[in-house]
Amino acid sequence: MKVIALKTPMIAVGQELRPIINQSIKENFADGLPERSVLVVTSKIIAYEQGRLVPTLAAQQGREVSREEERAFKHELVSQESDYYLDPHSSKYDLMLTIAEATLMVNAGIDESNANDNYILWPKNLYAEAEKIWRNLREDFGVKEVGVIIPDSRSVPLRWGVVGMSLASCGFRPLNSRVGDEDLFGREIKMVQVNVAEALAVAAVLEMGEVDEQTPLALVTDSKMVEFMDRPLNDQELADLRIEIEDDMYGPLLTKANWQKGKRNE
């Protein structure tokens, strides 16, 4: 498998990404977008295209505000973007553990890096955005087998550091079920599903970087694990990607947390 991070110009709020994506691909691949490749488009630049930025309280009011005022403003924003959240005072770091888009995440994915005095929210309609980019690539480059992933970064419980994750994907099967296969000793596999989209996102985000690299795109090629599709996932396939808290293997922890309903649930 090969992963190549692609540099782009700085993205402005409201700027259309399609020509930027196409130009970046053309600058790096003389023959255009390769067949059987997966384009990874960071969620942050999609948020810029959608205008999903909220100025900090200090920027809105044009004055210095106390740390407490700014934190209270951000906490309210997090609650609005969450399905469920935990009180920030339950964290020694004054962070909010949240569930949003069926993802356990800190602060509902709201980011302040490369935001220029804004809070960057996750894009809306993530799977629709992945499908839109997928259709554009097929039309603009004439490819048949191509995939798209929209990733972000997250921390992992009990481990320092962040890794990539897939928020949405299109053009390939995100899960590769090995149920029914046999291991090296003939034991039938009962539960294993390989999350292909998640694994590719981890590799791509590593190459794309986290700070000032200005490479919000990556192209993954030569992966033997990707099973391409000629259509988006249907509603049932999308539903099959998610697990209810009560059915999750981490349910004993998640169900005991004092979750509060976020405003996405209203």
Model pLDDT, residue 181:
87
Q: Using an 8 Å Cβ cutoff, are 24 and 6 in contact?
A: yes
The stretch 17-22 carries a mean pLDDT of: 98
Would the pLDDT of 159 be above 70? yes
Query: Which ranges of 142-234 does DSSP label H, i.e. alpha helix?
Result: 196-208
User: At a CB cut-off of 8 Å and minimum separation 6, what does 198 contact?
Assistant: 165, 166, 174
Per residue in 65-121, pLDDT (tens digit) is: 999 999 999 999 999 999 999 999 999 999 999 999 999 999 999 999 889 999 999
CA–CA dist 75, 260 (Å, integer): 13
Mean pLDDT in the chain?
95
Would the pLDDT of 266 be above 90? no
What structural domains and CATH numbers belong to the chain?
1-52+122-233 (3.30.1330.100), 53-121+244-266 (no CATH)
The stretch 165-176 carries a mean pLDDT of: 97
Grade residue 265 by pLDDT with cuts at 50, 70 and 90. Answer: low
Model pLDDT, residue 191:
85
Cα angle vertex 240, ends 238, 242, to 5°? 85
In the chain, the percentage of residues whose pLDDT exceeds 70 is: 99
Q: What is the reported pTM? A: 0.95
Tokens for 112? 């302040």
Q: Using an 8 Å Cβ cutoff, are 144 and 230 in contact?
A: yes
Tokens for 35? 């067949």
Per residue in 196-216, pLDDT (tens digit) is: 999 999 999 999 999 889 999
What is the CA 90 to chain-centroid distance, rounded? 26
CA–CA dist 24, 6 (Å, integer): 7
Tokens for 169? 């994907």
Model pLDDT, residue 55:
97
The stretch 23-50 carries a mean pLDDT of: 97
In the chain, the percentage of residues whose pLDDT exceeds 90 is: 88
Tokens for 246? 């009560």
Tracing tokens 């949240």 back to the chain, one arrives at: 98
Cα separations in angstroms, 204 against 8, 22, 48: 16, 18, 20
Model pLDDT, residue 264:
81
Q: Using an 8 Å Cβ cutoff, are 192 and 204 in contact?
A: no
